Amino acid sequence: MKRILLISIVGLFLSGSISAQDDLLADLVKEDSSTVKQNITIATFKSTRVINMHSVEMTGEGNLQFMIIHHFGEIWDNSEGGANFARLLGMNSGFANTYMSFDYTPVRWMNLGLAWSGNTSMEGTAKFKWMRQQSGQKNYPLSIASVHVAHLDASEKLDTPNDLYWNRMSFLNQLLIARKFSEAISAQLVPSWVHYNIVPYGNQDLHDIFSVGIGGRVKLSAKQALTFEYSRQLNGYENVIDKSGEIVSYSPNLFSLGYDWDTGGHIFQFFLTNSAYASNIHQLSVNTVKDNLGQWSLGFNLNRSYAIKHKVQTK
């Protein structure tokens, strides 16, 4: 009788202990399910460029990116005759413009770059990420970044007061405001400010040129997307003295249409644009190409990232 009573007491104790553990696990599961998850938006754009202009994207922390942006010559110029084929393909005749850059992301919110931007020109770039689109405990509807570029014209033929290199410099500051509306559609607003230390070609004595642009991406598949850009120059495009000394007025509109193809190791971006300039500074401030389709250019972007740190954060 005593043995049966002892077994009964032990059984009640064990069942109570198991019930208490079950209640504790249920409380933990309930608490975990009530916790709001933080969803950070990624891949607003596939590349660090929409087409010509910067996007809010950066390479991952600890990554070094090498990028080539190549603009072929204008599609057709009636005065060039057979040289148009060289223009079209960017071969010979000095028609092509190439931008080559290395940029590195030492911390998640900052990217630093150095580039060769066309003939005898160099650029230094800094990009900062100020806000990341996300939902959950923190709700931010937009991603916001800024880009700051210093451009140096190192041409031997460039005449500047006292031949100071400071007078050869120009600067670009941009604010990038983007939103990913869905898995397929993203858009970005880009107000820009270009400053010249020396006014180029007597450009109305304006040291500062302002513009407002938009860019977008429509995802076709996991590896492919269509992109577009448009920027409107707000001042400095009327009665401009060009290189030949002629006073001209030009279209203040910058258009680009592109196709993104992610191969897994590289991202190819093929585009058609009405600017053959390599640098954003010239595209947004002295793009004297008219809206005639024959003066548009074909081109491509190619970028590749390399992990420098052993552990790379992707968010």
Parse the chain into domains and list their residue ranges: 46-307
Q: 46-307 maps to which CATH number?
A: 2.40.160.40
Mean pLDDT over the full length of the chain: 81
Contact status, residue 160 vs residue 167, Cβ threshold 8 Å:
yes
User: What's the confidence (pLDDT) of residue 28?
Assistant: 46
Q: pLDDT at position 18, please?
A: 45
- State pLDDT tens for residues 200-253: 655 566 889 999 999 999 999 999 999 999 999 999 888 776 656 677 777 788
Q: What is the pLDDT of residues 149-185, one digit of tens each?
A: 999 987 766 565 556 677 788 999 999 999 999 999 9
What are residue 141's DSSP bridge partners? Answer: none
The pTM score is 0.80
- Residue 78 bridge partners (DSSP): none
pLDDT in tens, 87-102: 655 554 556 788 999 9
What is the torsional sign of CA 314, 173, 168, 234? positive
Q: How many CA atoms lie within 13 A of 1 on its CB side?
A: 0
